[in-house]
Amino acid sequence: MIDCHDGKIVAYTDGYGPDTRPADTMLEKAAATLSEDARPLVRSDRGRHHGWPGWPELMERFGLAGLTGAKGCSPGNAAAEGFFGGIRAGSVYPERWEERTRGKVLALIDECIHWFNYDRVKQSRGRRPPEDACKS
């Protein structure tokens, strides 16, 4: 889950199959980072996990409002898609990727997320990384 205000990865999970558990856990982790008065808008694609009956209940439990883009068009999802493209290029698809274990891929993803949050700079944030920009 990406905070589109500052570009920080606030939560992530992994899983083995297309079930709701990773998405639910990620939402719970992200909600745990919020201040008491924060009420961010959760923008998502039209993935299967967002259509199950428990998703609105989970959003309500954390006091979150959701927004889903039109079918085939979710501009708010662009930040996540761009991030995942970089993750795939850096940790999953390099040479001999088929020899990588799940553990190695997850360790590389952890490294990418750390770099993304603490080292990557953007001009729009005053040439600071997301974690640094969050403190101002």
Q: Concatenated DSSP letters for the chain?
A: -B-TTT--B------SSSSSHHHHHHHHHHHHTS-TT---EEEE---GGGGSTHHHHHHHHTT-EEEEPBTTB-GGGHHHHHHHHHHIIIIISSTTGGG--HHHHHHHHHHHHHHHHHT--BGGGTSB-HHHHHT-
Position 17 pLDDT exceeds 90: no
Summarised one tens digit per residue, pLDDT across range 50-108 is 677 788 888 889 988 877 666 666 666 777 778 888 777 766 666 677 788 888 888 88
Q: Are 9 and 118 in contact (CB under 8 A)?
A: no
CB 31 within 8 A of CB 62: yes
- Name residue 42's beta-bridge partners: 66
pLDDT tops 70 at residue 111: yes
Q: Among 15, 10, 34, 6, which Cα is nearest to 121's?
A: 6
Computed over every residue of the chain, the mean pLDDT equals 80
- The topology under which CATH files domain 21-134 is Nucleotidyltransferase; domain 5 (3.30.420)
Predicted model pTM: 0.77
pLDDT for 132: 77
